Amino acid sequence: MDAKPIVGRKKPHVVFIPFPAQSHIKCMLKLARLLHHKGIEITFINTEWNHKRLFKYGGSSGLDGIPGFRFNTVLDGLPSSTDDGTEPTQTVEELGLYLLTNFLDPFLDLVAGLETPPTYIICDSTMTFTNTIDAAEKLKIPIFLYWTMAATGFMAYYLAKVLLEKGILPLKG
């Protein structure tokens, strides 16, 4: 099916916010590609470090520079380089703590600077700790929380409380 041009209406523009981990980025990027293929403008927001890795290892697969698909970044608290030339690293906890206090304002500034105002935000459901729902409310833009885990991960998450209540978790011995 070919994408049909939207005539007489403002072209939709979706901002994607993945959790900064490879599997989350990969899943959200697949959805972004599908929507772009249907004629929707996409802005894909990554952390600086993940953006560099995405382009270094070919994860952008021809999306960079094509009309209607752009990548933007937010800081992640990592230095751009290290003294010994190795890639800088941080734990998920360190990254989460950094984004908790340093994501919202730069994100709002980034969105305000976009050429085309976004009509939707699709946010990784694990990124809500960064106040993306508050951002969507401030911007008056609908937000969709997208679950990027596999079905088995969802079932583990969904049943964790039941397994704890029945004493099955934590595992013993």
Residues with a catalytic annotation lie at: 24, 124
> According to the 3-state scheme, what is the secondary structure of 78-102?
CCCCCCCCCCCCCCHHHHHHHHHHH
CA atoms within 13 A on the CB side of 35: 22
DSSP one-letter string for 92-160: HHHHHHHHHHHSHHHHHHHHHT-SS--SEEEEEGGGGGGTHHHHHHHHT--EEEE--S-HHHHHHHHHH
Instruction: Tell me how far apart the alpha carbons of residues 171 and 53 are, in angstroms, rounded to a whole number.
Output: 37
